[in-house]
Structure formats: C-alpha cells, structure tokens
Amino acid sequence: GVKLLLHSWGTRAIVDKNQVQGVVFESKSGRQAILAKVIIDASGDGDLLASAGAEFDATIDVHLRIGNIGLVFEIGNVDTRRLTEFRESEPQRYADVIRNLITAGGVPWFSRTSIESVMAFDNSDHGFDLLSISALDVENLTLAEVAVRNRMLVTHDVLKRKMPGFENSFIMRTAPQLGTRGSRRLFGEYVLTEKDIKAGIVFEDSIAVCPAPLHNVSPEYPHGHIPYRCLVPREVENLLVAGRCYSSEDRGNDQLNLVPHCIAMGQAAGTAATLAIKKGARLRDVDYGMLQDCLGRQGVPLPNILKAKTNSQRNTQV
C-alpha cells in the first residue's frame, strides 16, 4: 500500500552522480531523508528536477496563459436574479459599473457557480502590472500575493456599493495561495511543441490523449498527445516528472497543462515507475507498449494507440 506523509515539503533531491536516490523533506518533525527507487517530481515548478541537476527551461512568453499569476476567490450571498435583471434591462449602467471597477483596480471577470448565490472570480493577470513576476522568486510571489488579495478587496468593495445584487454579499472563500501556471519545464527525451499539437501527432509512446484547446486543430486529429519521453530527463536517472513541468516549449505547454492533463501524466508516471522497478529497467527503457497496455487496463483513454493495436492483433490472427 501507500504510506502518506503529509505536511512535508520536499526541498531537494539526493543525488549520487546522476542517480537520484531520494528526497530531503522539511516538516514539523524536522529535516528527514526519504530514499526510493524512483522519484516523481509533481511539484509543478520542477523543484526536485532542478535540484537533481536535470536540464530545464524557465523562459515564458508572459502574454501566454501560463504567464498569468492570480487568485481564485468567490463572493457569496449574491442576488443573481437581481444582477441578471440589471445587466439585461440597463446594459449601459451595468457597463459603467464594470468600467468603475476596472478603474479602481478590481477584477471585472466573474461567473456563476453551481451554487445559485455564489459568483466565482479568477483574479489572473489580464493587463495588470504582474507580467514580470517570477513564480520561482519568493519575494516576487509575496509581492503578487499581497497585490491580488488587495485587488480582491477592491473588487468586493466596488461591487457591493455599485452593482445591484451584490448589496448583501460577502467574500466567501479564497484559494489558499497564489496560483501560478508556468515556471520550469524539463528538457526531456522529447520536447513537445505547439506544432506537434496542431498537427495532432500520435506518438509511439503516447501516454495521454487530451482535447486540445486550439481553434485551428486539424479536424482529422482533434486531440493532443503527450509522449512518455516528455516525463523522462535526458541525463538524470531514477527521476520522472508529472504535471506542468513536463518537457515542452512554452507554447506547447500553454495548450496541455490543465488539471486533466496533469492527472493523466501523474497516472502514467506512477505506472511507469512500477513497471521499471518490477522489470529492473531504467525509466528511459520502459517498454512503451507495456506501459500503454497497463494504462488501457486502468481505463485511461488512448483511442488511437489502443485501436491501432487491436486492429494489428486482429490482422495477425487472421
């Protein structure tokens, strides 16, 4: 089974030459080392891969989605019927309130949630002054954290005073910390590009097939494939990555780094680690077909890959 160790912060990889042996953790119990046959860096920011000496790229076009930094928060006890009536019956006054909100430095983007009286706000950086913030610099992150929380307070203040429906509202909850979408990206055995995704390339080692959020994807190949090689460092052994720090250029990462993509990579990395240990193989030598078969049995949708294999088997049987 799995032994959980929560409230622990992985700070650096333990490396002997190019072999990762474990991870140093800091916690209320103090500093401790946990050794393992395989380490999977799912930190998002690639903290462990960087400390292990793996190559990475941290350059990001700040105008991409992954260049955004922000805070998700919700405002409760909103009279959504009154809000809707105001927006539809007096569009000019509604637009004036939104302009006032923007002028005050608030967040003008909000949407309904599954709870009738709750509105969700994504306080991401859209035209604000956080484009130069680094998700890898603690002072930068502190500055951004304070800025977006102040922006949240301004937003609620303006809406409560000027927007019909928000008169009796309150800030209901916020994300526990600042949200970042991009930082380090591994230089792995393969670097996924935007061109790959647009072309709908099916890789021999595809471990995740995801709807690509591009408007110009070829209709014949409407999905983006993530190859296993994007999880494998070029030089370092016993280490895999999963999540948005996978090997990709910034524009490719911008397309395939949402929650479903990260979950799929995590499942593939865990499965590959198990196969490597059982077979006594290096992670970079894991059999692609065996990995895909295991994922297929777990219910992972790999339609192009598994369908091709099934057809091949049928042809062989005939």
Q: Is 133 exposed, middle or buried (0-12, 13-18, 19+ CB in 10 A)?
A: buried
Residue 192: DSSP 8-state: B
Side chain identity at residue 10, one-letter code: G
Asked if residue 178 lies in contact with residue 70, where contact means CB atoms within 8 angstroms, the answer is yes
Determine, yes or no, domain membership for 135.
yes
- 188 in the same domain as 53: yes
User: Is the domain of 197 the same as that of 271?
Assistant: yes
Say whether both 92 and 140 belong to one domain: yes
284 shares its domain with 311: yes
- Token pair recorded at residue 105: 């430095």
The number of angstroms, rounded, from the C-alpha of 125 to the middle of its chain's C-alpha atoms is 16
Residue 221 is encoded by which pair of tokens?
């190949």
- In this prediction, residue 65 carries a pLDDT of 82
CA-wise closest residue to 207 among 252, 242, 237: 242
Range of the domain at 134: 69-180
Same domain, 188 and 176: no
Same domain, 228 and 158: no
Same domain? 197 vs 300? yes
Give residue 301's pLDDT: 87
124 in any annotated domain: yes
Q: What share of the chain is helix, strand, coil (3-state, %, to 5)?
A: 40, 20, 40
User: Last residue of a domain, which of 180, 195, 227?
Assistant: 180
Quick one: residue 309, left, alpha or beta (phi over 0 = left, psi -120 to 50 = alpha)?
alpha
Residues 75 and 161 in one domain: yes
Phi first, then psi, for residue 262 (nearest 5°) are: -65, -40
In a domain, 32, yes or no: no
Strand-pairing partners, residue 13, are 23
Q: How many Å apart are CA 139 and CA 132, to the nearest integer?
A: 12
Q: What is the pLDDT of residue 97?
A: 97
Q: Where residue 155 sits, what CATH number does that domain have?
A: 3.30.70
Whether residue 189 is found in the same domain as residue 290: yes
Residues 51 and 153 in one domain: no
209, HSE (Cβ side, Cα atoms, 13 Å): 22
Residue finishing a domain among 130, 152, 180: 180
Inside any domain, residue 14? no
Intervals of the chain under pLDDT 70: 125-132, 212-222, 303-318
Number of domains in the chain: 2
Rounded CA-CA distance 266/241 in Å is: 8
Q: Among 180, 201, 223, identify where a domain stops.
A: 180
∠ CA 175-46-244, nearest 5°, is 60
One domain for residues 236 and 112: no
Same domain, 140 and 191: no
What was the pLDDT predicted at 212?
60
